[in-house]
Amino acid sequence: MARIPGAVVAASGLIGGYATARFTENRSLGGVVLVVAGGVAARRWREAGGVGVAGALTGAYVAAFAGSHPLAKKVGAWPAVLGVAGAVGVASYLFADRRG
C-alpha cells in the first residue's frame, strides 16, 4: 500500500481540523484532528528528511495554524485555512516528500 505523503497529511490536518471544529461546534475535537494529523505528518517528515527537516516543518505546521487566525480576520476563515494548508503542503513537498 502506498504511503500518503506528509504534504497531504499536513494540509488535510489543517483543513480537517478547522472543518471538524466548525461543523461540530467542538473546538477540542478539531484540535484532536489537528494534533493527530500533525503527529503523522511529523513522522513522515522525519522518515523522509531527518530530524531537522521534521522539526522545521512541524514548526511551520504550528505557525500555519496560529497564523491562520489573524489571517482569517483579513480574508475570511476558509481562504485563510486553505492558504496556510497550501503553504505547508508546498513546504512539505519541497523539503521532505520529494526526497523520500
pLDDT attached to residue 67: 97
| R_g (Cα) of the chain, nearest Å | 13
17-40 pLDDT, tens digit each: 999 999 999 999 999 999 999 999
Model confidence pTM above 0.85: yes
Contact 41, 6 (CB under 8 A): yes
Residues 6+ apart with CB under 8 A from 45: 6, 53, 54, 57, 58, 92, 95, 96
Q: What pLDDT score was predicted for residue 100? A: 61
Alpha helices by DSSP H, the chain? 6-24, 27-49, 51-75, 77-92
Cell of 93: 513537498
Supply the pLDDT for residue 99: 76
Q: What is the model's pLDDT at position 1?
A: 55
Spans of the chain below 50 pLDDT: none
